[in-house]
Amino acid sequence: MDSVNREKEKKYNKWIVALSITIPVVVAALFGVNLKTLGFNVTPLTFLPPIYAAVNGLTAVVLIFAVVAIKNKNRKLHKRLMKFAIALSIAFLLMYIAYHTTSDSTKFGGEGFIKYIYYFILLTHIVLSIVIIPFVLITYVRAITNNIERHKKIARITFPIWLYVAVTGVIVYILISPYYA
């Protein structure tokens, strides 16, 4: 890779590190904050979970179509779909934060084996949703700086993790939805 592209890519590293740390820390901090208990007059946004679960599902579909597009050498469509997948992930994150800062957390009520399955899926979903942040950012930066070979290498790792996070987000919703108040 030429030094010009590497320098372009390097410009973004501070942002990648900052966002990769800030996003999970802010989400974790806000997860424990309920605006109503802090005295704010807010309406619980209890309608959001099925919407952000659908956004996760749509993200999975968009990711698959983006891979098909690039395998068919349709870079323009691939680029648009990937930007859409990123926008969907940001929308999910904003709705997730809005829900959890205005509503009480829902406890999983399942018993037996399903409880273990739920918590395994939830735990892996949470861990990988944190891990995927720098992967998506690095993959995107390598694309926009035209470091295509390096982009391809990391995209092979980013895609299955991101897809897993999107799909398991839907599964977590389906498993916990009977217990929403």
The b-or-e profile of 143-171 (16+ CB within 10 A means b, else e) is bebebeebbeebbeebbeebbbbbbbbbb
pLDDT of 34 reads 82
Block residue for tokens 């779909």: 81
Task: Write down all domains in the chain, each with its CATH number in brackets.
Answer: 3-179 (1.20.120)
pLDDT of residue 1 exceeding 70, the answer is no
pLDDT of residue 52 exceeding 70, the answer is yes
* Closest-CA residue to 16 (of 179, 133, 110): 133
pLDDT one-digit tens code per residue, 143-175: 999 999 999 999 999 999 999 999 999 999 999
CA end-to-end distance (rounded Å), the chain: 55
- This prediction has a pTM of 0.91
How many CA atoms, within 13 angstroms, populate the side-chain half-sphere of residue 63?
23
144, two tokens? 């926009």
Rounded average pLDDT over 105-129: 94
pLDDT band at 63 (very low <50, low <70, confident <90, very high): very high
SS3 state of residue 147: coil
Residue 136, Cβ neighbours under 10 Å: how many?
Answer: 23
Helix spans in 12-147 (H): 13-31, 48-71, 75-102, 113-144
Block residue for tokens 């209890």: 46
Rounded average pLDDT over 63-74: 98
Cα 117 to Cα 132: distance, rounded to the nearest angstrom: 22
